[in-house]
Structures are given as C-alpha cells and as structure tokens.
C-alpha cells in the first residue's frame, strides 16, 4: 500500500489545489480593456428594481457592460451629469453617458479612463432607488457629491454604496 505522498494521483490533486489557491491569493494584474458586467433586473411586477453589483471598483481602462437581465422591464444606465439634466456626480472632465432604453437582453458598454467616482441611475426607476456607483482607481473615501444630494430623490441618495466599502470589497451587491 502506497503512502499518499507516493500516489501519483494524490500528488496531481495536491498540485491542482495549490495552483488554485495561488490564483485566488495573488492580486490579479491590471488588464486594460477588460469588461465587467453590471446586471439590470427587478421583480416580475417591477415593485423592486436594481443594478447588480450596485457598487464596483475599476482600474483605469476597464469597461462596464450593463446588461438588462430583466424579463419585462426596460432600464437605462444614465450618468449624473448636466448633459442628462442632472447635477454633476462624476469627474468633471470625463464623458457622460446615457444608454437610452434597453430592452430585456440588450446591453450597453462604457470605457472608464478617468479616475474618480461615477454615480449613475436608471431613468424610469431613479425614484425607486435604482442607482449605482463606480469607482475608478484611487478615490477619496469621503462622501462625494454630498452638495447635490438635495436635488436627488431620497431613495437614490440612499442607494449609493460608500466609496470606502467599494474600495475595500471591490464590488457591492
């Protein structure tokens, strides 16, 4: 009877396990051009709607693809920016976006190059608190854009995850 260390199958398993562990522990290298997904969804009646994750940390050069995973609701991804009729809640020099209405299954992609905090919302569901926050690179963990909170529905203000939590976890569902 062979000891586990001399069993070739056992050693193979140990090798695979060690490799997986290493991949999970080492920080991933920065990959410009990588696309991360944010789902748009809700309950069948539309009584609750959300972006998932609603908080996401990116490196400059990464992209986000919003995908409407809902079965019966249209959604948008729309930046808080004067161009979209809203106060500025994103880096001043960065280009605003508005996906317009996405039907179930449709998607919309934005590349994020400028570091900072980006707040966005869903046009038909802002009052229901369907908002999200993207942090690109290093950002000040203080409450950003607090001066414009009074111009937003209270459910929207309540929906933004803390910058500090996004920086710590990488994503907030």
**54: contact with Cu ion by CB under 5 A:** no
Unique residue bearing structure tokens 């317009």:
100
**86: contact with Cu ion by CB under 5 A:** no
- C-alpha distances out from residue 16 to 21, 38, 102, 103, Å: 9, 31, 42, 42
C-alpha atoms less than 13 angstroms from C-alpha of 82 in its C-beta half-sphere: 4
- The whole-angstrom separation of Cα 3 and Cα 36 is 45
**122: contact with Cu ion by CB under 5 A:** yes
Pairing of strands 116-121, 131-136: antiparallel
Nearer to Cu ion, 41 or 62 (CB): 41
**102: contact with Cu ion by CB under 5 A:** no
**156: contact with Cu ion by CB under 5 A:** no
Number of residues lying near Cu ion (CB under 5 A): 5
**130: contact with Cu ion by CB under 5 A:** yes
Nearer to Cu ion, 80 or 139 (CB): 80
**75: contact with Cu ion by CB under 5 A:** yes
**89: contact with Cu ion by CB under 5 A:** no
Among 81, 86, 125, 133, indicate the residue that binds Cu ion (CB under 5 A): 125
What contacts 165, CB < 8 A, 6 or more positions away?
55, 172
State the residues that interact with Cu ion by CB under 5 A. 49, 75, 122, 125, 130
């Amino acid at each position: 009877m062979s000891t586990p260390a001399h069993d070739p199958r056992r050693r193979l398993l140990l090798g695979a396990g060690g490799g997986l562990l290493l991949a999970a522990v080492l920080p991933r290298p920065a990959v410009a051009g990588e696309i991360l997904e944010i789902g748009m969804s809700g309950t069948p009646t539309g009584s609750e709607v959300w972006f998932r994750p609603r908080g996401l940390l990116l490196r400059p050069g990464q992209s986000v693809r919003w995908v409407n995973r809902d079965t019966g609701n249209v959604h948008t991804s729309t930046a808080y920016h004067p161009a979209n009729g809203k106060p500025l809640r994103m880096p001043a020099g960065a280009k605003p976006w508005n996906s317009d209405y996405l039907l179930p299954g449709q998607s919309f992609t934005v590349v994020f190059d400028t570091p900072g905090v980006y707040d966005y919302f869903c046009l038909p569901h802002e009052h229901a608190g369907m908002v999200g926050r993207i942090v690109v690179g290093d950002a000040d963990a203080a409450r950003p854009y607090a001066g414009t909170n009074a111009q937003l529905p209270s459910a929207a203000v309540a929906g933004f995850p803390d910058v500090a939590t996004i920086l710590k976890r990488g994503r907030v569902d």
